[in-house]
A and B are shown apart, each in its own frame.
Chain A
Amino acid sequence: MNFPSRLVEDAVNEFAKLPGVGRKTALRFVLHLLRKDPAEVEKFGSTFIRLRQELKHCHTCHNISESEICDICSNPRRDPATVCIVEDVRDVMAIENTNQYTGVYHVLGGIISPMDGIGPGDLSIDHLVQRASSGTIREMIMALSTTMEGDTTNFYIYKRLKEFNISVSTIARGIAIGDELEYADEVTLGRSIVNRVPYEKTIAAK
C-alpha cells in the first residue's frame, strides 16, 4: 500500500499493531479520525496515554487498579481468607459479573506453556506462594481454563501449595446450565457422571 503522507503511514502502522486489525481496517480508522475535530482526536489519544501511565497493578492480587491496592482487595466486605486464582483480568471481570463470589483474587498473568515461552517464573506464582505462607488464607480456588495448559498450571500450583494448611479446590467441570445432554460432548458428560453432586446441594444453590 502506498500512502500520500508519511504521517498517515505511521498512524496506519500503529493501528495495525492492534490484535485483529489489518492494514485496510487501520486505514479506515485513520481516515475516520482525520474527518473528526482536532479536539476530539486529542481526547482520543490522551485517553490511551493516561490509561498507560496512570493504571497500576494491585500489589496484592495483580489485578489492574488505579491505586496500590485494588478496590476488591481493599473492600472490607470481601473475605480475604478465600483466594480465587485466575489467568488474567478478563477472568476477574467474568467472575465478578456472576455476583456469586465474595472472596479476593490472584491474577497469574498467564498460564504455563513452554511452547509459547511462558514458564512459572513469568507468572506471579512465587507471590501466590508468599501469600499462602502468611497463614491468613483458608481456601484457594483454581479457576483456570480447562485446557491442557490450564491443567498443567493447576497441577504445578497444587504442588507448590501442598505444604501449607490450605484447602485447594478447582472450579466444577461439567454440563453447562441449559444444555441438553444429547448435545454434550462425551468427555464432559463422562466427567459429569463421575463427579456427580448430591442433589440436596443443588437445591441450596438456587
Chain B
Amino acid sequence: MQTNCLPLPEMFLQKLSLVNFKNFEEAELAFSDKVNCFAGPNGSGKTNLLDALHYLGLCKSYFNPLDSQNIRHDEGFFVIQGTFIADDGAEEQVYCGMKRNQKKVFKRNQKEYERLADHIGLFPLVMVSPADGVLISGGSEERRRFMDSVIAQYDKNYLDSLIAYNRVLSQRNALLKQFGENRNFDAAVLEVFDAQLAGKGKPVYEARKAFIAAFTPIFADYYRHLSGAAEEVAITYQSKLHETSFEDLLIRSLPKDRIMQHCTAGVHKDDLEFGIGGYAMKKAGSQGQQKTFLIALRLAQFCFIRDTGKRMPVLLLDDIYDKLDENRVKKLMDAVCGKGFGQIFITDTGVGRIQELFENRGIPFRLFEIRSGKVNNQLKELPSE
C-alpha cells in the first residue's frame, strides 16, 4: 500500500450550510476532519450532500450538468457555503450561489471569481459513486475522459495540446467531408493538416503512455488489497500509435478516411482495456469485481491527485455497500482510514452497520442521520470524549 506520501498541507471542510439545494430546504453541518458518515433511507438526500461538496470543489454537480435543476423544486435559488480549515488554523470560505435564469456566482473569502477555472484544484476531491459503472460499460470516450481529466491535473500543456488537436481534427474532418461531397481531392491541403495533427497528437500520446505506466502499479496494489489478491486485473492502453508513427498512421488510414469522410485513426480513437484473469472486465467480471475495479481506479486517481497536487484531496464514497461484500467493504475502510488519506465522506443506508464498521478504529468519526432533507446532527461521535 502506498503510504510514502509527503506531509501535505491538510485542509478539511469544517462546516457546510445549504439553502434550497436539491431536497434540502436548509441544513447546517459541522464535520470531523477524518471520517464523516451520512446514513438514512433511500431518497433522504445523502448523495445530495456529497454533491454539494462536489460543487464546492469543482464548481459543478457530479450528476446533473444543469445547475438550475439542482435548485429545490419551486424555489428561486440555492446557496452552498463551506468553511475549510487549514492545519495552520487559517479559514477559507467558499460560496456558491445560483439563482434561476442567472449565472452561478462563486466566491472565495467573499471575493467573486472571474473565471471558475481559477477555483478548480484549490480544494481537490475524488468521488466514488455507483455511477462510475459507465467507465466499464460505456464507450471508449468515457475512459479517455477519465485519463484526460487525471493527466490535465498535473500536466498543464496536456489540455492545450488536446484542445488544439481536437480543433485540427474538426478541420480535417470538414475537409474530408468536402472532398467527398465535391468528388475532388487535394493532397497538398491534407498534408498540412496531417502535419499539424501529428504535431499536436504526439505529446498527447506520450503523456497518456507515461500516465498509464505510472498509474497501473498503484491501481493494481489497491485492487489486490481490496480483493485479498483473489484475482488478477489489468489495464492496457490501446493505441494504434504503439506500432507506427503518427505520420504513417495517417497515410495508412487515408483510403478509409476518404470513404468514411472523417479521421478514422489517431489519439481520439485511443481506449483503455480493462481485463480480469485475461478476459474483458465488461464481459467476465462479476458485479462485485467490477465495483472493486472501479474503486481501485478511483483510489489510484486519488493518489495521483494527491502526489501531483498541492493539497490533500477529500474523498467522497457514495453508497459503499453497493455490490460489495462485507469483507471488501472492510478492506476499503482499512485503506481509506490509513495513512495517505485525509477527510472522508461516506454514505450508507444502514445506521447500525456503519457504526459497527468504525467502532474500534480509534479515529475521529461523526455520524449524521438524514431523513427526507433534514439532518439529525451528530448522531454519534467517536472517539467519545
Contacts and interface: CB of A to CB of B under 8 A. Distances in A.
B175 A114 contact: yes
Contacts of A149: 171
B188 A113 contact: no
Interface in A9-31: none
B191 A159 contact: yes
Nearest to B175: A114
A159 B192 contact: yes
Interface in A99-127: 112-115, 117, 119-121
A73 B60 CA distance: 57
Given A117-B178, A148-B164, A187-B160, A156 B188 contact: yes
A148 B175 contact: no
B196 A152 contact: yes
B284 interface: no
Contact of B170 (A115, A121, A155, A187): A115
A160 interface: yes
Q: Say whether chain B's binding surface is mostly helix, strand, loop, or mixed.
A: helix
Contact of B192 (A115, A121, A152): A152
Nearest to A117: B178
B174 interface: yes
Given A119-B178, A159-B191, A152 B186 contact: no
B215 interface: no
A119 B175 CA distance: 8
Given A117-B178, A148-B167, A187-B160, A156 B189 contact: yes
Contact of B186 (A115, A119, A155): A119
A30 to B, nearest CB: 33
Interface residues of A, number: 18
A114 B164 contact: no
Interface in B152-178: 156, 160, 164, 167-168, 170-172, 174-175, 177-178
B310 to A, nearest CB: 18
A151 interface: yes
Contacts of B167: 148
B171 A114 contact: yes
B134 interface: no
B62 interface: no
A160 B175 contact: no
A10 to B, nearest CB: 35
Given A119-B178, A148-B164, A113 B196 contact: no
B186 A114 contact: no
Contacts of B171: 113-115, 148-149, 152
Interface residues of B, number: 20
Nearest to A119: B189
Contacts of B189: 112, 119-120, 156
B84 interface: no
Nearest to A157: B192
A155 B192 contact: yes
A114 B172 contact: yes
Contact of B193 (A117, A121, A152, A160): A152
B174 A115 contact: yes
Contacts of A148: 164, 167-168, 171, 196
Interface in B179-202: 186, 188-189, 191-193, 195-196
> Which one of A114, A151, A186, A187 has the highest number of Cβ atoms from chain B below 10 Å of its Cβ?
A114
Interface in A148-198: 148-149, 151-152, 155-156, 159-160, 186-187
A113 B164 CA distance: 14
Nearest to A153: B192
Nearest to B174: A114
B175 A151 contact: no
Nearest to B170: A115
A159 B196 CA distance: 13
Contacts of B156: 186
Interface in A65-114: 112-114
Interface of A: 112-115, 117, 119-121, 148-149, 151-152, 155-156, 159-160, 186-187
Ranked 3 nearest A-B pairs via Cβ: A114-B174, A114-B175, A115-B174
Given A148-B171, A149-B171, 15 more contacts: A114-B174, A114-B175, A114-B178, A115-B170, A117-B178, A120-B188, A148-B164, A148-B168, A148-B196, A151-B196, A152-B196, A155-B195, A155-B196, A159-B188, A159-B191
28 contacts: A112-B189, A113-B171, A114-B174, A114-B175, A114-B177, A114-B178, A115-B170, A115-B171, A115-B174, A120-B186, A120-B189, A121-B186, A148-B164, A148-B167, A148-B168, A148-B171, A148-B196, A149-B171, A152-B168, A152-B171, A152-B192, A152-B193, A152-B196, A155-B192, A155-B195, A155-B196, A156-B192, A186-B156
